[in-house]
Amino acid sequence: MMTTPELQTASLAPTTGRELGTWKTIKATVDDEIAWVVLNRPEKRNCMSPTLNDEMLQVLDAVSLSEARVMVLTGAGEAFSAGMDLKEFFREADALSPAQREITQRSAFEWQGPRLRNFSLPTIAMVNGYCFGGGFLPLSSCDIAITADDSTFGLSEINWGIIPGGNVPTAIVHTMSLRDSIYYSITGETFNGTKAAEMKLVTESVPRDQLLTRVLEIAEVLKTKNPAIIRVTKETLRHMRSMGWSEAENYINAKFAEAQYIDREDGRAKGLKQFLDDKTIRPGLEGYKN
Ligand code: ACO
Ligand code: V55
């Protein structure tokens, strides 16, 4: 006889942080300058409903306003995210007017795409389990993605009769090869974390019991790096694929100047002085000290 295993509802996020607010579908805390944003519908495998999408826009603002220097996005329980909510986002939307549907669609698009991609802090997706369909969007929008070897990924849209929608096609051709994008989205075949790392869909995959440790290690490194330079670097790199060399040269020069202008710790002067004058650091091997 099949026994129902007990549902895991906890997340890997530390439990000691300060709550950034109260939301129905998301838990967000800041702990030692790291924001932990947890998709919190474990009983629904953290699928993304209109409520979750609306709340996420508020959560991202709350994180921006906090003292956090790094943001980690993860899921409670067994899933990172089972994709869009097939009941609330798709079936129930059939009853809405076109204008209402557009509004519902917009909050999903906005947080999963531009708001997350252009987020001012470095972002880490801690992919703790299932990641399907629409889940590939926040995954791809995060700067870094770390997963567990036994996580399960799938572009499962084909399995219920839709094409990958939203900006999933854009996201996957940026983070997967065209071959893998087509193969996995027309077969619906799943793959594990190890394979996701081989494909470079994620930055790294580690044994499950090391997932949190590895994410913390990266977050701690990012906390020591210049926040203004991180921000302008990620913005700049995100734009490269859609620019020709000549536009890019112009854009990069402008971003270079912007970075110096907004850098309140004047890292460049410190770095040059500590290397060339004081000889206390070698920038090839370590960062300057504030
Ligand atoms: N939309 C709506 N409800 C969902 C979703 C989803 N994407 N994923 C899971 N749920 C709900 C289930 O309906 C179920 O609800 P119930 O308890 O009220 O009946 C609950 O979450 C648990 O789901 P189970 O299927 O019972 O959980 P299990 O652990 O056996 O399987 C799995 C997990 C593999 C993630 C499975 O739920 C699944 O296949 N989900 C759909 C994945 C998917 O294809 N997502 C859409 C991708 S396409 C897109 O995002 C546009
Ligand atoms: C999908 C569809 C969307 C969306 C995000 O892949 C993901 C499915 C139709 O809208 O916003």
Answer whether 0.95 is exceeded by the pTM.
yes
Distance CA 93, CA 161 (A): 16
- Per-residue pLDDT tens listing for the chain (290 residues): 566 778 889 999 999 999 999 999 999 999 999 999 999 999 999 999 999 999 999 999 999 999 999 999 999 999 999 999 999 999 999 999 999 999 999 999 999 999 999 999 999 999 999 999 999 999 999 999 999 999 999 999 999 999 999 999 999 999 999 999 999 999 999 999 999 999 999 999 999 999 999 999 999 999 999 999 999 999 999 999 999 999 999 999 999 999 999 999 999 999 999 999 999 999 999 999 99
The answer, yes or no, to whether any atom of ligand 2 lies below 6 A from the CB of 165, is yes
Measuring from atom 7 of ligand 2, which residue has the nearest CA?
Answer: 134
Looking at domain 18-223, which CATH architecture does it have? Alpha-Beta Complex (3.90)
Domain ranges of the chain: 18-223, 227-277
SS3 194: helix
What single DSSP character describes residue 224? T
Give the residues surrounding ligand 1 with Cβ less than 6 Å away: 44-45, 47, 79, 82-87, 130, 132-134, 156-157, 165
Least Cα distance to 168 among 81, 244, 243 occurs for 81
The answer, yes or no, to whether any atom of ligand 2 lies below 6 A from the CB of 157, is yes
The answer, yes or no, to whether any atom of ligand 2 lies below 6 A from the CB of 275, is no
Mutate to test the pocket of ligand 1, among 40, 45, 163 (most ligand atoms within 8 A of CB): 45
Residue 157 contacts residue 133 (beta carbons within 8 Å) = yes
With a CB cutoff of 8 Å and minimum separation 6, the contacts of 96 are 104
